[in-house]
Chain A
Amino acid sequence: MLRAIGLVAWQTFTLLRRDKMVRAAVIAGFLTTVLALLASTWSIEDQIKILFDVGFFCFQLVGSIMAIFWGSKSVGDSRQDGAIEWQLAAPISRTSWLLGKYLGLAVSTLLLGALLLIIWQLGMILGDYGILSMGQLAVYLLMLLGWLVLLALSLLFSVSMRFSLALFAGVGGWLVGLTSAAVAAALTPETPPEAQAIVRVLARAWDLQAFNLVDRVLEAPGISPASLLNHVGYGLVLIAIFLTVAALASQRGDIA
């Protein structure tokens, strides 16, 4: 089973590394770094904060969009060109196939993240900001975990929907996740209690801001390792839930 999962992961990775979107993402990462450096240079105070606020915001944007796009496209493309039939006619269970897809997508996303990190680090060195601290690196890695969560969500949607719908649902889920905590915090006493309860539960269950701790790491007292682990655990649980539901959904239907 592990061999079959590895083979599908390898194939998915091979297909994605030839995707034109990789080049676009790397260019976007480079431009982001340049923009963040320029913005920090132009400011007269809080230069490091501006550097990270602008840079990580753009990385968040680029990485999340790539994760949603790849997660939806990987299965959507296979379905559209019929390759899913060829892949699943092989001696592999649908769950293994799905896990292999996710693994290939995750490796591709992490490599893209590593490439963007190198560009960012080079930019920091050129701008005389030195080398990333452990805390800053941890925040970056947490952001990557957020991308992997979005990847799992998009894969879940793409298993049960067509590409365009899955992409739409993925973007919707991303926006909800980004704003849920802010909306919950902005509730007024006039909001009906039932609505408040729903929004708070949603904000607690699906909060993508949990993977964006750049503010907390730049300000004293920083972030404790225990708190960081909580966020990592939350991300891993979300990935496990999404993949489990995706595996269950893929068992039910017919292929193509």
Chain B
Amino acid sequence: MQTEATSKIAEDVALVDVRKVFRSDLLRGPQVALEKLTCRFPAGRCTGLLGHNGAGKTTTIKLILGLLKPDAGNITIGGSQISLEQKRLIGYMPEVNKLPAALTAREVLLFQLRMFAPEFAAKAAAKRDAVEAALAAVELGEHADKLVGNLSKGMARRLAWAQATIHQPRVLILDEPASGLDPLACRQMLDWIRAEKLRGTTIILCTHELAQLVTLCHQYHILRRGKLVVSGSLGPNSAQQYIVHVSGLRADGLERLAEREGLPPWRQLRQEGVLAELSFVGYEHSAHWLQTLLAHGYVVTHFGVDALAFEENLLQHFAGGT
């Protein structure tokens, strides 16, 4: 999957006051899909786009891809309006397999490479090598000449990933990338996304899987009925809840340690056998505790964002709470 564009400069994607109304349904009248949507997907960061079904996630993606035309507002990539040249920077992996069933895996990748990376136009050998490398990377080398319609769901998802990334896009749009995959294939997909993240690609991850959001994204936007209801960060400086699991310390021991070392108070303490779970609001408090516990030689078995609390918080936004 190596093209000539080895030094990648990520691009940010911005939507400003975007409005989209669907007018095709005569019975129900105009449907407002997005209303004054303003959000930014920063360069080189992985941003989650969440919302219930019909919240406007796919509409947002299609607007960025130029498949839909906004009724109002601006969409830019790297500060410029989306043109054909800008579209060359994008890689898109749709939710369901949307590749033509009567093409082979190799033909799909060849088309993608020729279309998105014109520098390959005159280099047959380089083009062939790039396609073979992409097929090998997603373990489809043996199935290169199979028709897309004859591939299993897992293979089709791997091919969809290969076609989205073969031209080394600067912006990668992923719509439910792990949908329908078995746990092993799902983990592989997440590893590939992590690798793209490390390369500095701007990633827009549309997902319902909150665990994926927590492990992959730097930040997130939540849409509800076409409006942005909340944006948040998942980085170490955010206001997320963090948890620390420590072994061999009970409540009284923890209290004494806190008093002696002047540690910040925890938000909640749960004790299960010899394991204590401390939860904190914000990264700094939890990191302070982690440092102290390790310095005193206690066994810390887990440290990270409290996924349950985070999920609870997000579900409130989904459902319409604050």
Q: Which residues of A contact B (CB under 8 A)?
A: 3-4, 7, 10-11, 14-15, 18-19, 78, 81-83, 85-86, 88-93, 254-256
Q: Which of B90, B98, B111 contacts A11 (CB 8 A)?
A: B111
Q: Once the chains bind, are B114 and A89 in contact (CB under 8 Å)?
A: no
How would residues 52 to 95 of chain B score, 1 for a CB under 8 Å from any chain A CB and 0 otherwise? 00000000001001111100000000000000110110101010
- Known A-B contacts A81-B100, A81-B101, A86-B99; the reply to A7 vs B67 at CB < 8 A is no
Q: Once the chains bind, are A78 and B88 in contact (CB under 8 Å)?
A: no
Q: Once the chains bind, are A82 and B96 in contact (CB under 8 Å)?
A: yes
Q: Once the chains bind, are A93 and B84 in contact (CB under 8 Å)?
A: yes
Q: Which of A4, A10, A18, A254 contacts B68 (CB 8 A)?
A: A254
- Known A-B contacts A4-B115, A255-B68, A256-B67; the reply to A82 vs B98 at CB < 8 A is yes
- In the complex, B161 has a CB within 8 A of chain A: no
Number of B interface residues, CB 8 Å?
31
Q: Once the chains bind, are A255 and B103 in contact (CB under 8 Å)?
A: no
Residues in A with CB closer than 8 Å to B62 are 85, 254-256
- Tell me how far the C-beta of A72 lies from the nearest C-beta in chain B, rounded to whole angstroms: 17
How would residues 212 to 230 of chain B score, 1 for a CB under 8 Å from any chain A CB and 0 otherwise? 0000000000000000000
Residues in A with CB closer than 8 Å to B88 are 91
- Tell me how far the C-beta of B112 lies from the nearest C-beta in chain A, rounded to whole angstroms: 8
Residues in A with CB closer than 8 Å to B103 are 11, 14-15
Q: Once the chains bind, are A83 and B69 in contact (CB under 8 Å)?
A: no
Complexed CA–CA distance, A112 and B99 (Å): 26
Q: Once the chains bind, are A91 and B68 in contact (CB under 8 Å)?
A: no
- Known A-B contacts A11-B103, A82-B94, A91-B116; the reply to A3 vs B121 at CB < 8 A is yes
- Known A-B contacts A4-B115, A85-B94, A92-B84; the reply to A11 vs B67 at CB < 8 A is no
- In the complex, B102 has a CB within 8 A of chain A: yes
User: Interface on chain B toward A: helix, strand, loop, or mixed SS?
Assistant: mixed
- In the complex, B107 has a CB within 8 A of chain A: yes
Q: Once the chains bind, are B84 and A83 in contact (CB under 8 Å)?
A: no
How would residues 97 to 127 of chain B score, 1 for a CB under 8 Å from any chain A CB and 0 otherwise? 0111111000100011011101001000000
Complexed CA–CA distance, A170 and B111 (Å): 30
Complexed CA–CA distance, A256 and B66 (Å): 12
Complexed CA–CA distance, A83 and B100 (Å): 6
Q: Which of A19, A83, A90, A91 contacts B99 (CB 8 A)?
A: A83
Q: Which residues of B contact A (CB under 8 A)?
A: 22, 62, 65-69, 84-85, 87-88, 90, 92, 94, 96, 98-103, 107, 111-112, 114-116, 118, 121, 147, 163
Closest chain B residue to A255, Cβ basis: B67
Q: Once the chains bind, are B101 and A89 in contact (CB under 8 Å)?
A: no
Complexed CA–CA distance, A114 and B66 (Å): 39
- Tell me how far the C-beta of B195 lies from the nearest C-beta in chain A, rounded to whole angstroms: 22
Q: Which of A3, A18, A88, A256 contacts B102 (CB 8 A)?
A: A18
Q: Which of A14, A86, A90, A256 contacts B107 (CB 8 A)?
A: A14
Closest chain B residue to A4, Cβ basis: B115
- Known A-B contacts A82-B94, A254-B68; the reply to A90 vs B100 at CB < 8 A is no
Residues in B with CB closer than 8 Å to A254 are 22, 62, 67-69
What are 9 inter-chain pairs, A to B, with CB distance below 8 A?
A: A3-B121, A15-B103, A18-B147, A78-B100, A81-B101, A85-B67, A88-B67, A89-B66, A91-B84
Q: Which of A7, A255, A256 contacts B114 (CB 8 A)?
A: A7
Other 9 A-B pairs with CB < 8 A, given A7-B115, A11-B107, A81-B101:
A3-B118, A10-B111, A14-B102, A14-B103, A18-B102, A81-B98, A90-B115, A91-B85, A91-B88
Q: Once the chains bind, are A88 and B66 in contact (CB under 8 Å)?
A: yes
Complexed CA–CA distance, A72 and B111 (Å): 23
Q: Once the chains bind, are A11 and B100 in contact (CB under 8 Å)?
A: yes
- Tell me how far the C-beta of A180 lies from the nearest C-beta in chain B, rounded to whole angstroms: 32
Residues in A with CB closer than 8 Å to B67 are 85, 88-89, 254-256
- Tell me how far the C-beta of A19 lies from the nearest C-beta in chain B, rounded to whole angstroms: 8
Q: Once the chains bind, are B90 and A89 in contact (CB under 8 Å)?
A: yes
Complexed CA–CA distance, A93 and B85 (Å): 11
Q: Which of B69, B98, B116, B118 contacts A85 (CB 8 A)?
A: B98
Residues in A with CB closer than 8 Å to B163 are 86
- Tell me how far the C-beta of B13 lies from the nearest C-beta in chain A, rounded to whole angstroms: 14
